[in-house]
Homo-oligomer: A and B are copies of this chain.
Amino acid sequence: MELTPTMERLIAELVKLPTIGRKSAQRLAFHLLRREHDEALALARAIEDMRARVRFCQRCGNIAETDLCALCSDRSRDRSTLCVVEEVTDVVAFERGGSYRGLYHVLGGCLSPLHGVTPDRLSIEPLMARLREGGVRELIVATNPSVDGEATALYLARLARSLGIRTTRIGVGIPIGSTVEFADQVTVQKALEGRREIEP
């Protein structure tokens, strides 16, 4: 059965969202229909406002509503440490961790020659410009532990070395709360390679 035209259009737009299938979209559309008029419109307004106001930090690429993001504007952050991540959502993940006090640089992905992602498609030149300005003592490369992420880390480490900047890679291994039993073989191998001395 076809629902009414505007209902079908709403469902078609909802289906374009990740992880939302036809059935979920229909449930969401009926939910928006049953809600108070103002409540349903609040979602529409929130989408419009977000698109009107959110932009990317001119310095690090994180999301912002002014030229610089909240982190780059925060004078209490440690400017000598820079953590390079693939996406803005990775910044969110590290900030959730809560202990990192340095700044970030969002690449916008990782190098992937097979998918046409060459260095000029990523925010690598702006990163180099930041490093050339001086003041950064450690570059932490936090790209994902995938083939492309590792290649990107190596590429960035070479560039940073040419500027005499120490480059580190985030640790890989068994996630806290998970078990060795359920880790895949590559993770187990990497966890072994990344073993550290226990100081008793």
Which residues on A are within 8 Å of B, measured CB to CB? 1-7, 9-10, 12-14, 16-19, 24, 26-33, 37, 39-54, 63-65, 69-70, 88-89, 91-92, 95-96
With A31-B18, A51-B37 already in contact, the answer to whether A89 and B44 are too (CB < 8 A) is: no
Chain B positions within 8 Å of A70 at CB level: 2, 4
Q: How many identical subunits does the complex contain?
A: 2
**Considering the chains assembled together, what is the distance between the CA atoms of A37 and B51 in angstroms?**
7
A23 to chain B, nearest CB (A): 10
Chain B positions within 8 Å of A95 at CB level: 1
**Considering the chains assembled together, what is the distance between the CA atoms of A50 and B54 in angstroms?**
26
Please pick, from B6, B39, B63, B89, the residue contacting A46 in the complex, using a CB distance under 8 A. Answer: B6
**Considering the chains assembled together, what is the distance between the CA atoms of A145 and B123 in angstroms?**
58
- In the complex formed, the residue of B with least CB distance to A95 is B1
Contact B40–A6 (Cβ < 8 Å)? no
With A6-B53, A54-B4, A65-B5 already in contact, the answer to whether A32 and B47 are too (CB < 8 A) is: yes
A70 to chain B, nearest CB (A): 7
- In the complex formed, the residue of B with least CB distance to A5 is B65
Contact B51–A47 (Cβ < 8 Å)? no
With A39-B16, A53-B4 already in contact, the answer to whether A9 and B46 are too (CB < 8 A) is: yes
Chain B positions within 8 Å of A51 at CB level: 32-33, 37, 40-41
Please pick, from B12, B28, B47, B63, the residue contacting A4 in the complex, using a CB distance under 8 A. Answer: B63
**Considering the chains assembled together, what is the distance between the CA atoms of A52 and B39 in angstroms?**
13
Contact B10–A50 (Cβ < 8 Å)? yes
Contact B30–A89 (Cβ < 8 Å)? yes
Please pick, from B7, B14, B19, the residue contacting A63 in the complex, using a CB distance under 8 A. Answer: B7
Contact B50–A6 (Cβ < 8 Å)? yes
A74 to chain B, nearest CB (A): 11
Chain B positions within 8 Å of A17 at CB level: 28, 31-32, 43
